[in-house]
Amino acid sequence: MTDSVQSISFVAAFSAGLLSFVSPCVLPLVPSYISYITGLSIEQLTDVSARTRFRKAIILNSLLFIAGFSTVFVAFGASASLLGQALMTYQEHLRRFGGIVVILFGLYLLGILNLNFLKMEHRFQFRNRPAGFLGSFLIGIAFAAGWTPCVGPVLGTILLYASTTESMFSGVVLLTFYSLGLGLPLFLTALGVDRFLSYFKEVRAYLWGVSTVSGVLLIVVGVMIYANSLTMITSFLERYGIGWYLGQ
């Protein structure tokens, strides 16, 4: 994998994390998650003075929650890469199969294809919040392990791509960037829930568009993975003079 294609892959993985964050079944529940992991009510989180008083707890609990789901996603990435290396002889077939699966994910997000296995949620419910900072980390792990209908298609695309990379390290870095894309906006939201709620009121009517855009993007990426033509993106960027951004 060339440096330019690798850089594009990392940007794509980060963008995929952002798409997962704004998905219609993750974004509306973000304040509730933040309230649960911090032990503070929505009213306290939206009150500037209360938020300032508990700022340290909010930051630490949010970071540990992010660390929890990042640990699971990165482990997925490492496993996918190892599997890809084990099947190196069949790498070409694996890439084409992955491209087809990504296209199917895109059709699912567009509502054209019904994939029942992606609708089965396996959320780990805690009757009582696990105590302390460890609890936030465990809730993060539960989030990663159980929220498949929301992040499944996009995450699955990144994992399939990770399985075609040249080393386990590449898979780990890909999923690290994905986790950053999902975790960074969540952390910023934790620092300003009131601003998030104000913004959410304005955009919630357009959340359906996220699935549509994601579906179209996955189909395009799936076709490019199948045709082994991701380098076309590099050529496009170079043509418009922004290859320097990718370390060219």
Higher-confidence position of 117 and 44: 44
Q: Give 30's contacts (C-beta < 8 A, 6+ positions apart).
A: 21, 186, 189, 196
The model's pLDDT over 61-87, given as tens digits with 9 standing for 90+, comes to 999 999 999 998 999 888 888 887 776
- Which residues have a Cβ under 8 Å from the Cβ of 72 and sit 6 or more positions away? 140, 141, 144, 145
Q: Which residue's entry shows tokens 């579906």? A: 215
CA 135/CA 65 separation, integer angstroms: 8
129 confidence band (pLDDT: 50, 70, 90): low
**Type of residue at 158:** I
In percent, how much of the chain has pLDDT > 70?
71
Instruction: Give the mean pLDDT of the chain.
Output: 76
- pLDDT band at residue 191 under the 50/70/90 scheme: confident
Query: What's the CA gap between 172 and 69, in Å, rounded?
Result: 14
